[in-house]
Amino acid sequence: MRIKPERAFGGSLPRLLAPSPGAGAPPSPPRGRGSLLSVSCLLPFAFCLLPFALCLPSASAQQPQSPAVPAPPTRAPVVDPKAQALIDKIIKTLGGPAFMGFKTLTTHGRTYSIVDESTAGMAPYTQLMEYPDKRRFTYGKSKPVALINNGDQDWEVDQYGTTHQLPVQILRWRVSNYYSLENLLRLRIHEPGVLIQMGGVDFVDNLPVQVVEVVDAKQVDIKVYVNRTTFLPLRIAYSALNPTTHEQDEYADDYSDYKDFDGVMTPMHIGRFINDERVSETFRSSAKYNETYPPGTFTPTGH
């Protein structure tokens, strides 16, 4: 089933800016997700990511409730030694202590909304993140719109005032953020009840990758596709229940064009897919870690 993106962080942006007269159409988005050529059987996103589709309820629908999950397991993570060795290499490559210890990330750039593999809109953006679950995502120039997430609280602020985000925005943000590169490697894989093992080899955008398979504390299957040469993650794939269809939607967040900022290898390009359909592309132009934000940044009246 093809899901059309609406207003959501995972790349689908509400009220995206149309090109100004004479400016020409926005550039075509970069090429899509490379095919996966499976080399060995893999155990059965996400975006995402991303993330980073879920249901498309009407604007009048109530805010989504977090799905019921079993009681948190108490056993320690079970990690295959080979998988642990590869994870150690990944974290070291990403920056080691600098990657594991940063608190905030500020990025600027451009984001594109994609529908049927065509650019539906684009906007410049600024994003302030305080990990693990606080975000202020502001896009647009003359009439900026801010999407604010603070734990279980979600708002949208524009020239007309403050309102709650649509359920699809909230769900997509929470899912893609929960399994983001940062939260997955710094939080999820260390939680009680996690199972981690090697998953064979594959290809992402014609690059050979080693797959690490994770079953998290919520019993969600996650695959991390790691460049076999650089040890940088190229894709995180996972699934999430669609509350409308009651089926699992497949997510994938692609990470590429890594650059070093403040000692952390940072992906400057993030592509998000839902059910094999590309829904967004984000191009970062700058990144800054551990900035201190003013009080109230993650509230509607702040910043």
pLDDT for 61-111, tens place per residue?
444 544 444 555 678 999 999 999 999 999 999 999 999 999 999 999 999
pLDDT at 146 over 60: yes
pLDDT at 30 over 50: no
Mean pLDDT lowest for which of 22-26, 56-60, 103-107, 292-296?
56-60
Mean pLDDT lowest for which of 111-120, 232-241, 265-274?
111-120
Helices (H), the chain: 81-94, 97-101, 167-178, 181-186
Tell me what pLDDT residue 120 has. 77
Helices (H), 112-202: 167-178, 181-186
Ranges of each domain in the chain: 78-289
Q: How confident is the model at residue 8 (pLDDT cuts 50, 70, 90)?
A: very low
Under DSSP, is residue 174 helix (H, G, I), strand (E, B) or coil? helix
pLDDT tens readout for residues 15-28:
444 444 444 444 44
C-alpha 235: how far from chain center: 10
So what's the architecture of 78-289 in CATH?
A: Clam (2.50)
Q: Using CA atoms, how far apart are residues 166 and 78, in angstroms rounded to an integer?
A: 38
Cβ neighbours for 31, distance < 8 A, ≥ 6 positions apart = none
Q: Using CA atoms, how far apart are residues 298 and 303, in angstroms rounded to an integer?
A: 8
